[in-house]
Structures are given as structure tokens and as C-alpha cells.
Structure 1
Amino acid sequence: MIKWIKEKEEEKRYVFYRKIVQDDVVLEPSLREFCEANQCGQYGSNWMCPPSLGTYEELTEELRSCGNGILMQMIYQLEDSYDVEGWRKALEVFDYKLRDIANQISRHIPREELLILGAGPCRYCEICTIKNGEPCLYPNQAIASVEAYSIEVSSTIKNVGLEYNNGPNTVSTVAILLERSSTRGD
């Protein structure tokens, strides 16, 4: 049965959850080239982004050692296709929602046993300490992006029965939460 949650209408967002298994996750090594070309401006500027996050091979090994988990998608309605502020708000709301879900799950599974991947670079700190050559202040709160792990989002979400393109004037954001230890049950 498809489980979906419709959030408050005034928030203009919809959140969907699906179980995800390893076979659903599509990796695309060429995505790493976008990181290396610094397309989003975070390469080397965020602990949760390449190159500090690890090599493609290391991240793939980490990902493949995980068990099953949850894919979360939020669809946020924008005013129009040029609504940059709405897009930023959508990322902020999504990040908050993802952290809330992660905290709820952490009551049952220790945070260090979870691999939590969100949309875009980690935004927990206003300024990442990597810029000052200091270690991450909140490693248990830091969240890497699905793209940093070279996960091809549109194919992966189709594999769990969702769509990436949800119509005009929308932004779709995706997170994946996996259990690091595959010995637990679902």
C-alpha cells in the first residue's frame, strides 16, 4: 500500500515516504564530476561534500554495506518557475523535516548506525568549520547529499514508485535514510 502524508495545506508541500532496498539505488559515477567541477560551490568548502567526504569508491562501499531504509520526497509548490525564494524556503523546510525524521528514528536506532543523505550540502552550521581548517563541530548532525554519494535521484525514486518531475512550479527534494548495520530487521 502506498503510504503518503499530506502536510498542512498552507505549507504548500507534500511529503512521501517509501521503503528503499539496495537494488532500488542507482549509482552514476559521472555525478562526481559535477562535484569536482564545483557546480554548487561547495567542493572542498563543506565537510559533507567531496573531496573531504571520501572517494567515489569509499562512498559506494559505505552505501552498499548499509541495509534497507526509507526514501523521503517532499514536493513543494512554488509561486512560479522563477520563485528563487520559494525554492530556498523549500530546501530549508525539507532540511528541517529530514532532521526531525532522523531525530525520531534515532530514538530507536542510534544516529551513528544511520546513513542520512539529504538534498544539497550540509547546512547545519551557518559556516562550515572546514573553511578554518577545524574539524566538524557536529558530526552526528552533519548530513551529506544523495548526489555526493553519486546516487542518480530520478532513476532511484522511480524504482520506489515516485516521480521526480511533479509538474510546473514545483520543486522536488529527496532524502535517503539507511541503516548502516544490515543485521537489523526492517
Structure 2
Amino acid sequence: MNIAEKANEIIAAAKEKGFTNAAPLDISTIELTEQVRDMCAVNKCHAYGTNWSCPPSCGTIDECSAVVKSYESGIIVQTTGELEDDFDFETMEETMKKHSQNFIGFIKYLRATYPELDILPLGAGACMSCGKCTYPDAPCRFPELKSSPMEGYGMVISEVCKANNIDYYYGKGTLTYVGCYLFKNK
């Protein structure tokens, strides 16, 4: 089975495993920009320079670009929540937690089901695979589960979705978290 056929199988599995939506990702549509990386450096999320998955430790834009370009195929995954109002922080947090749990669980599923694939998971926000990151004092404890943020790599998520014909905005009262998995044969 070639990578494209596997991608279709993986998309179906992603939906079965709890993601709201999943679609093919054409690697050639991914553009990494220094402007997005600069937004990371402002550190509004308080993750910049605090873990192995976020900038600057995930690599420079050039290094991240070389990594992304080395992959053959990918999928985009999404988790969408419906908010009662613009201040429904409970649903926002629940949706983020659900997306993170599904994302980490799907990394485990992919590695177990497709050992012949090299998989690069890029998530929504900082890696959540362990409670406290060892950065910078010790190596990552779970490198097989580590995921960098799409933004940390320099991606404008709405543009990646648009370029791959998957909605990013699902209407008023919704919030969508997005991640992706890139694949190549080992």
C-alpha cells in the first residue's frame, strides 16, 4: 500500500478515533513564515523557550522547512466545539482537552499501526505529552510522543486549511483546534 492509500485509511481512522474532521494534506502547500515564528517569540502562550517542542528548541524556520519538505504526505485533523456564547470558556477548555487527548492518542495509534512510517505530529499549541517538560535540563522523556505546534514551525493554520480544501471556520459559536501528521516511509 502506498502512502496516498495509507493516508485515506488514516483519515478514516482519525474520524473513528474522535476527531471532528480529517482531510489529506499536500506537503507542497505548507509555507513556513518568520512572521508566525515572531509571534511565538512574543510568548503570549507562555511556552516559548520552556519546552522541547516549541521555538526556539524545535529548530529555526530553515531547519523546520527542511524537515517538512522531507515528508511525502500528510493529514489535517480538527476538533470543533460549539460554544453557548463568546465567553463559554468551559467548552473552549473541554474542546482543547479533547483535541489534545485525541492528538496524543492518535500518535500512539499511528506508531503502533504503521511502524513502517516516519511520522511528524504537529499539533495545536505546545506538546502536552507529559506534565512537566524536562527542558532544558534533560532530554525529552517521550520523544516518540513529542509534537511541535504548527505555529511553532511557522505555519499560518487558516492558510494551510484553505490550501487543502478543509474549512477552518465553521460558523458563529464554534471553535476549532487543528493539528496535522506528516508521513514518509522509513
* Structure-1-length-normalised TM-score: 0.84
Gaps of 5+ in 1: 8-12
**Distance in 1 between residues matched to 2:116 and 2:90, nearest whole Å:** 32
- The yes-or-no answer on 1:61 pairing with 2:66 is yes
What is the total number of aligned residue pairs between the two structures? 176
**Matched residue SS, 1:129:** coil
Q: 1:49 is matched with which residue?
A: 54
**Identical amino acids, percent of aligned pairs:** 28
CA displacement, residues 91-120 of structure 1 (integer Å, 9 cap, x when unaligned): 110011122222222223239810001100
Change (3 A) 1:84 1:54: same
What amino acid maps onto 1:120 in structure 2? G
**Distance in 1 between residues matched to 2:15 and 2:138, nearest whole Å:** 41
What amino acid maps onto 1:62 in structure 2? V
**Distance in 2 between residues matched to 1:144 and 1:135, nearest whole Å:** 15
Deviation at 1:175, TM superposition (A): 0.9
Q: 1:10 is matched with which residue?
A: none
Change (3 A) 1:157 1:103: same
Q: Is the contact made by 1:119 and 1:175 (CA closer than 8 Å) also made in structure 2?
A: yes
CA displacement, residues 52-105 of structure 1 (integer Å, 9 cap, x when unaligned): 111111011101111101111121112221122221211110011122222222
**Matched residue SS, 2:113:** coil
**Distance in 1 between residues matched to 2:51 and 2:84, nearest whole Å:** 31
User: Which of 139, 145, 152 is the equivalent residue of 2:143?
Assistant: 139
**Distance in 2 between residues matched to 1:176 and 1:6, nearest whole Å:** 13
Task: Compare the two structures and name the one with the higher helix fraction.
Answer: 2
**Matched residue SS, 2:178:** strand
User: Which of 102, 113, 118 is the equivalent residue of 1:113?
Assistant: 118
- The yes-or-no answer on 1:125 pairing with 2:130 is yes
**Distance in 2 between residues matched to 1:111 and 1:53, nearest whole Å:** 24
- The yes-or-no answer on 1:161 pairing with 2:176 is no
Deviating 4+ runs (over 6 angstroms): 3-7
**Matched residue SS, 1:73:** strand
Q: 1:101 is matched with which residue?
A: 106
Change (3 A) 1:28 1:119: same
**Distance in 2 between residues matched to 1:63 and 1:180, nearest whole Å:** 10
**Distance in 1 between residues matched to 2:73 and 2:40, nearest whole Å:** 26
**Matched residue SS, 2:135:** helix
Q: 2:3 is matched with which residue?
A: none
* Structure-2-length-normalised TM-score: 0.84
Q: 2:39 is matched with which residue?
A: 34
Q: 2:153 is matched with which residue?
A: 149
Gaps of 5+ in 2: 1-7
Q: Is the contact made by 1:14 and 1:76 (CA closer than 8 Å) also made in structure 2?
A: no
**Distance in 2 between residues matched to 1:79 and 1:14, nearest whole Å:** 20
Q: Is the contact made by 1:44 and 1:51 (CA closer than 8 Å) also made in structure 2?
A: yes
Q: Is the contact made by 1:81 and 1:168 (CA closer than 8 Å) also made in structure 2?
A: no
